[in-house]
Structure 1
Amino acid sequence: MSDGRLLDEDASFTFAEDDVESPSEVLQSWPVLVVDDEVDVHEATQLALRDLLIEGRMVRLFHAYSAEEAYQVLGDQTDIAVVLLDVVMETEDAGLQLVRRIRNELENRSVRIVLRTGQPGYAPEIDTIRTYDINDYKTKSELTRIRLFTTLAAAIRSYWQIHQLEMNRKGLELIISASTGLAKLRAFRLYAEGVVTQLSAMLGIEPEGLICAVTASDGSPPRVIAAAGRYRDLIDRLLEDLPDSAMRRALCDCLDSRQHVMAHGMCFFFGVSETAGIAAYIDVEKEPDAVSKNLLEVFCANATVGFENVLLQQRLYDYAYTDPLLRVPNRKGFIEIVDGRVNGKDTVLALVDVDDFAEMNTVLDHDFGDRVLEAVSRRLTSVFTPAAVLARVGSDTFSVLGSADLVTSSRIEAIFAAPFDLNGEMLRVSATASLIKVGQQQNANADMLKNASIALKQAKVLKRGRATLFSEDLSAAARERIRMLTDLRVAFSAERLFLAYQPQVDLISGKVLGAEALLRWQTDDGRSIPPDKFIPLAEQSGLTVPIGEWVLRTACRHLKRLTDLGHVTFRMAINVSHTQFREPGFVPALGRAVHDCQVDPGQLELELTESVAIGHIDSTTAKIQEIRRMGISVAMDDFGTGYSSLSVLKQLNVDRLKVDRSFVKEIGEDGDATGIAELVIALGHQLHLVTIAEGVEQEEQRRQLLKMGCQEGQGYLFGRPMPAKEFEAWLAAQR
């Protein structure tokens, strides 16, 4: 048969003349894989398909001589259109098993497979077609040149239809993904890429050579926002910088005329209100027919609505994630951007807090404060971005996340070393910054900001106006304090706090004179939290006053019970913190507690620390006198451990002086090692005060204290702090 007869039999096939340039150099080709273990079959197929054009494209052959080799080729070349596959190769069903692997393992559903066999009786044709996803099943003797052409053309057309459907699906997925991506910064670009892919599918070409350009409504020059194929590297380039002059001219004409342009390729115009126009360019020479043009115009009209929606969503995203004044990410935006980016030990998070910003807003005005923030933001941006992430995470607080080499204390302090220019007015601004190293296991989320905030609070107390690097251990300790404070609030609300009572005795006779009420906290799991851990927390958190009033009333109720049990001369000592004592309503609250619990004021003693007098000597003295007039005695606790002086002690006019346990601890067989305990006791005698030593644990300490003239004692030697029921039993045994 001659080549001319083949042309007569199928007009869709054409052959290039020998002296014409190979179309493979100027046209896209159809990749076809020939799989056969016989070299002759490869040579015959190559000869039969030489210079063949199908639908305007050359056929380009790939060769494999075993099923395994074919599997590797298909894994590497994902755009193979047709596989001409021998059934029997290294095994009798090697070809059929390869079909299974192509569909199941490679998940390639689009490639068309034509089975060729030299043993027609091996596998029945109907069963094979029913069982395997193949396009055709031929014996090698059937595949003459004309039938090979016909079979291959049908398979390629089938492949192209499936490929176009897949392109349509991907384009629609991109459009839908962008349309619903309310919280995605890249939604606009995703949508534009989807439009690119969808238009390519409608025009029957690969998604290549298409560019989407946008010009902003503020007059800024057009810029490429999406591109496909060989033009992808041009994304974010200005339209005027595009290297192809014909493409550049076509896009400019489209944007200027605000309509589709069909010269020098095809340009589609999208009249999006948020912009001055969007243009999409496709590098195709053949102009579509009238029906296709109509479909394209309908698609462009719908795509324009989609662009409007995506831009609306972008505005909503900006409102939610961008600071409106400074145009940098806000707290939510910061977490969104950096989530997942922290993956090494060389990352540092800094919080930068402008000092005295509230006073600026109060004394001057909010407009002035805004100008300060804008100036600070500009300088931070110039130093740290784009290498680091900058955000405004509080009214006057910025966050910076970047490498340890970039985000340093010295660099932050240098930013605030020079005055800021506020529209010609020079102003010096100081800032306190905390820097924390973000560990390898640390997630970039709200917890990370929480850790940094804790460090910032510590920095403002310890090193105000400086940038300080804090360790994760320090942040962890602060988090533990916050957790304990939360637990303390819950424990107080749930009445999990209780009082323990430690006896106070006469050092000579050993007679029990009274007890000190001591606050205790036991958790649900039975753990006891030491007072030196939770009492400072209560003082810092504002719980001191309500807890103090609870202690006062609980101790008074127990005193009333002990009195009813016959302990009519029993003295109850109650600690009062300086915060509670300074409350304006403390004395009336004390009077109400005494009245409500029906106790004798003479059986009550309040223990005050010397800190109550610091800076408030006159008011403290007056309040103590008011308490003593009620019949309640007052003891000075922890005397000598702080700032007390003899003159202060004389002015306060208290009843009893407690010798601190730290001084008692120094007493041994050889007497008072430091002499401080003896000095305090002598001072008590001089002021006619009763002295009581706390922390007495050894008999020798009791004897030495007696020699010094101390009258009373408290400590493990006499009794440990005991809960109410246990203390009552102990007290009954003492009688």
Structure 2
Amino acid sequence: MNSTIHSSEDDLVFLDEPDNEDTSVASRPVQTWRIMIIDDDPDVHSATTFALGSLEIQHRALSFLHAYSAAEAREILQKESDIAIILLDVVMEQEDAGLQLVSHIRKTLGLTDVRIILRTGQPGYAPEIDAIRDYDINDYKTKSELTRTKLYTAVTSAIRSYEQICAISASRRGLEMIIHASTELMALQGMQNFAAGVLVQITGLLGLDTEGFVCARHILAEMPEAGEDLYVIATTTSYANGLNRTLGQLGQVTASDIVVRSLNARQSVFEPEITALYFNNVAQKDFTLFLNTGLHLNEMDKRLLGVFCGNVSVGLDNVMLTSRLHNYAFYDPLTGLANRLKLLQTLNETLLTSLKNRSALSLIDIDHFAETNDALGHQFGDQLLYSVAQRLVTSFGEHCQLARVGSDTFALLGEENMVCPDKILTLFNSPFDVDQQEVQLSATIGLIKLDDYDGDGSEALKDTNIALKRAKMNRRGGYEYFTRDMGVEIRERVLLMHALRAAFEHEKLFLVFQPQIDMRDGRVLGAEALLRWKTEDGRFIPPDQFIPIAEYSGLIVDIGEWVLRTACFELVHLRSLGYTNFQMAINVSQAQFSHPLFMQSLNKALADTQAPPNFVELEITESMAMKDPELLIKTLHQIKQLGISVSIDDFGTGFSSLSHLQKLDVDKLKIDRAFVNEIQKNSNEGSIAKMIVQLGKNLGLSIIAEGVESEMQANTLLSYDCHMAQGYLYSRPLTRDDLHTWLANR
């Protein structure tokens, strides 16, 4: 059928009209392409709808909106959306009304997706080239050339373009939502918070009001007891009763089935009514999201969902890494207990709350653990520590904060009635079963009550450690509570240690020399070199105060080497003054003597000073002789090969073994001043000194007494057949210059 419809101004010609067009609304699908016709000629509206009304494009019918002026079009466009095409007349109320409306649609309303086909019956009013160049239109047609076929072609092309643009826009919006969702998820800390965030974001992305849950395995640091089971770690409202329970306990057979299938296949599973989304990760840990809604996705939806799942997987890797780093930072990997840093956090929190008033902190040190570790191996030692930790958790885990703060030291923080030394020590009464062996352990405990404590967590931990050291010093297997006196004492020791180091570095230490005499004729045999320290304000620090500190800090090795060299230099100087039979006695500490470079430093001192070894005597203490006899015997043999003599200082004050003493290659015993002081007139109190003299004689050793202050003591010692002595009766310790004067006056 051929038909021609004429308007007063514009001609719209349709050719080859079919005779059986059915334009009823009922025959068209619900979803339509919306086309808006804007023209001031009603006949154009009728002709256009008649020409296109029965057609389908891309399997969708067309529906129409009508506006008969630019003003009416503005009102409709303000309210309506999803318009695919606008067929727009150029000349309406005004000659450029159509072009102004194009500008309004694009710039004011921001409708960039809609396709605009400009139609005119008067081309001269809007030249085609100028209109396409200056305005965002998609096609320009004169009404006279628009046959039905050409109109259909133009509309079909525009709809395809519109569909592609909508897909691109939807993809862009979807990607923007994914980026936003990913950003939100990245800010979440902890696996359970992250899982809950994934649920929220996926429902927002899909635009669905759906219910679901997230389940996981192997990745819950917050739930170490989870083991191999799948646990529900985040839910929406309808599944809230299953939170932190196993998947089996959820009681949802269908949901459990699709989740397990998704995990086994390591991919998402889509079914008509339900969906399981699988999230891959670097660590290959199971993590799946269940939705009780089936997802009917087109290809673009699937691609977007794939991008989202990929981003979630990256976020999952980051959260897992963060969780592992958090564990490494705050928990002990061997025992699973909190570490020192985590304990300090909890301790500081406790000190800032009312819990402080009834709380206590204890440090539990395993006695002689190092020996057990060395004897049975580090693997056995680790198992033993784990067993100790488990026993502590069983007894105190529900009420107290437990931590491992050292290799074999545990901390316990809680209420005073729980952090009780008797309760703690009771745990060590029964042996620990490790690797099918029973190991009996004991522990020493230091404690502090926090109720009146003014310091912070680090200070409290430090003071508890002071109490622990005091307990270990007094009696292994016992305990000590921290007192303020302990704190003052240890701080004074630390200050003294720093002052001693500074004094040594600035050459404020010096030697004095106490002469040693043959009591039979008053002849000077030599002198003992003694270390002294005088502070800047003129105070003398007693040796019994600073020598233990020097030994504890390790500074005694350097100080001892300096003493050795200085005494040897003085010996050489005295020989140059004519005192060629003068012997120099030099004290050697345990730390210095057992140092692996001791013999090297001794040889170097002799070589550098040119001191004659046969006039050098080294004094070692009796406790040194008993601590490591084998090392002592070996070292003494090397010393004697140099020609140096050796004496045992303070003999009788320790717990000597005569069998060991016989094996030692020593030359002299020195009677301690405590036994010399016991010598009194008409008394048997000096019998210990007499026994030492007799023992020395029987072993072929020389004997010298120190601390001789009276003629009576000297005469008594001579009667015991002890000929050598030093003490105030003959001379106080003398400085270098005073010694020279004293010797000259003799």
What TM-score results when the alignment is normalised by the length of structure 2?
0.53
Q: 1:434 is paired with a residue of what secondary structure?
A: strand
Corresponding residue number in structure 2 for 1:317: 326
Corresponding residue number in structure 1 for 2:438: 427
Counterpart CA distance in 2 for 1:674 and 1:508 is 23
One-letter amino acid of the structure 1 residue matched with residue 419 of structure 2: V
Residues 498 and 294 from structure 1, CA distance in 2 versus in 1: closer, same or farther, beyond 3 angstroms?
same
Maintained 8 Å contact 2:211/2:291: yes
Shift of 1:517: 1.0
Corresponding residue number in structure 2 for 1:704: 712
One-letter amino acid of the structure 1 residue matched with residue 191 of structure 2: F
Counterpart CA distance in 2 for 1:366 and 1:629 is 40
Corresponding residue number in structure 1 for 2:190: 187
Deviations 1:351-382 (A, max 9, x none): 3537657646755x666555545544433332
Corresponding residue number in structure 2 for 1:349: 362
Counterpart CA distance in 1 for 2:291 and 2:547 is 73
Equivalence map 1:135-150=2 (5 Å): none
Residues 339 and 295 from structure 1, CA distance in 2 versus in 1: closer, same or farther, beyond 3 angstroms?
farther
Maintained 8 Å contact 1:434/1:452: no
Equivalence map 1:562-641=2 (5 Å): 562-567=574-579, 570-577=582-589, 593=605, 596-599=608-611, 604-607=616-619, 609-610=621-622, 637-641=649-653
Counterpart CA distance in 2 for 1:233 and 1:203 is 25
Counterpart CA distance in 1 for 2:214 and 2:637 is 85
Corresponding residue number in structure 2 for 1:532: 544
Q: 2:321 is paired with a residue of what secondary structure?
A: helix
Deviations 1:484-519 (A, max 9, x none): 667767766776543222345687998876532102
Corresponding residue number in structure 2 for 1:518: 530
Shift of 1:555: 0.8
Corresponding residue number in structure 2 for 1:48: none
One-letter amino acid of the structure 1 residue matched with residue 315 of structure 2: G
Could you list the runs of 5+ residues in structure 2 that have no partner in the other structure?
1-177, 219-226, 263-267
Counterpart CA distance in 1 for 2:446 and 2:590 is 35
Shift of 1:451: 5.7
Deviations 1:537-591 (A, max 9, x none): 5556766666444323211211222333455565533334577678999899767
Maintained 8 Å contact 1:658/1:691: yes
Residues 303 and 640 from structure 1, CA distance in 2 versus in 1: closer, same or farther, beyond 3 angstroms?
closer
Counterpart CA distance in 2 for 1:297 and 1:577 is 74
One-letter amino acid of the structure 2 residue matched with residue 214 of structure 1: C
| Aligned equivalent of 2:392, options 367, 370, 380 | 380
Corresponding residue number in structure 2 for 1:214: 215
Q: 2:414 is paired with a residue of what secondary structure?
A: strand
Counterpart CA distance in 2 for 1:277 and 1:731 is 90
Residues 684 and 625 from structure 1, CA distance in 2 versus in 1: closer, same or farther, beyond 3 angstroms?
farther
Residues 509 and 222 from structure 1, CA distance in 2 versus in 1: closer, same or farther, beyond 3 angstroms?
closer
Counterpart CA distance in 2 for 1:626 and 1:304 is 69
Maintained 8 Å contact 1:251/1:279: no
Equivalence map 1:255-274=2 (5 Å): 271=279, 273=281
Maintained 8 Å contact 2:344/2:457: yes
One-letter amino acid of the structure 2 residue matched with residue 436 of structure 1: L
User: Does 1:502 find its partner at 2:514?
Assistant: yes
Counterpart CA distance in 1 for 2:370 and 2:605 is 44
Shift of 1:532: 1.4
| Aligned equivalent of 1:561, options 573, 598, 620 | 573
One-letter amino acid of the structure 1 residue matched with residue 217 of structure 2: A
Shift of 1:456: 5.6
Q: 2:419 is paired with a residue of what secondary structure?
A: coil
Maintained 8 Å contact 2:446/2:480: yes
Equivalence map 1:269-284=2 (5 Å): 271=279, 273=281, 276-279=286-289
One-letter amino acid of the structure 2 residue matched with residue 427 of structure 1: E
Q: 1:427 is paired with a residue of what secondary structure?
A: strand
Counterpart CA distance in 1 for 2:640 and 2:367 is 49
- Of 250-259 and 599-608, more deviation after overlay is shown by 250-259
Maintained 8 Å contact 2:416/2:449: no
Maintained 8 Å contact 1:684/1:690: yes
Residues 644 and 338 from structure 1, CA distance in 2 versus in 1: closer, same or farther, beyond 3 angstroms?
closer
Corresponding residue number in structure 1 for 2:563: 551
Corresponding residue number in structure 1 for 2:738: 727
Maintained 8 Å contact 1:574/1:605: yes
One-letter amino acid of the structure 2 residue matched with residue 271 of structure 1: F
Shift of 1:483: 7.4
Maintained 8 Å contact 1:270/1:304: no
State the structure with more CA Rg: 2
User: Does 1:307 find its partner at 2:319?
Assistant: no
Counterpart CA distance in 2 for 1:318 and 1:692 is 63
Counterpart CA distance in 1 for 2:745 and 2:558 is 34
Residues 449 and 601 from structure 1, CA distance in 2 versus in 1: closer, same or farther, beyond 3 angstroms?
same
Shift of 1:657: 6.8
Counterpart CA distance in 2 for 1:497 and 1:532 is 15
Maintained 8 Å contact 2:195/2:233: no
RMSD between superposed Cα atoms in Å: 6.2
Counterpart CA distance in 2 for 1:616 and 1:293 is 77
Counterpart CA distance in 2 for 1:616 and 1:471 is 33
Residues 673 and 527 from structure 1, CA distance in 2 versus in 1: closer, same or farther, beyond 3 angstroms?
farther
Residues 587 and 360 from structure 1, CA distance in 2 versus in 1: closer, same or farther, beyond 3 angstroms?
closer
Residues 706 and 301 from structure 1, CA distance in 2 versus in 1: closer, same or farther, beyond 3 angstroms?
closer
Maintained 8 Å contact 1:609/1:636: yes
| Aligned equivalent of 1:409, options 417, 421, 444 | 421
Residues 596 and 454 from structure 1, CA distance in 2 versus in 1: closer, same or farther, beyond 3 angstroms?
same
Counterpart CA distance in 1 for 2:197 and 2:636 is 81
Counterpart CA distance in 1 for 2:272 and 2:351 is 49
Equivalence map 1:5-44=2 (5 Å): none
One-letter amino acid of the structure 1 residue matched with residue 566 of structure 2: T
Q: 1:340 is paired with a residue of what secondary structure?
A: helix
| Aligned equivalent of 1:340, options 334, 337, 349 | 349
Counterpart CA distance in 1 for 2:676 and 2:424 is 50
Maintained 8 Å contact 2:216/2:233: no
Residues 303 and 528 from structure 1, CA distance in 2 versus in 1: closer, same or farther, beyond 3 angstroms?
farther
Could you list the runs of 5+ residues in structure 1 that have no partner in the other structure?
1-167, 179-185, 697-701
Counterpart CA distance in 1 for 2:661 and 2:371 is 41
Q: 1:406 is paired with a residue of what secondary structure?
A: coil
Corresponding residue number in structure 1 for 2:157: none
Shift of 1:708: 3.9
One-letter amino acid of the structure 2 residue matched with residue 306 of structure 1: G
Deviations 1:446-494 (A, max 9, x none): x666666666666667655x46345356587567667766776776677
Residues 202 and 443 from structure 1, CA distance in 2 versus in 1: closer, same or farther, beyond 3 angstroms?
farther
One-letter amino acid of the structure 2 residue matched with residue 312 of structure 1: L
Task: State how many pairs are aligned.
Answer: 537
Counterpart CA distance in 2 for 1:622 and 1:220 is 62
Maintained 8 Å contact 1:227/1:235: no
One-letter amino acid of the structure 1 residue matched with residue 366 of structure 2: D
Shift of 1:611: 5.0
Shift of 1:606: 4.7
Residues 278 and 629 from structure 1, CA distance in 2 versus in 1: closer, same or farther, beyond 3 angstroms?
closer
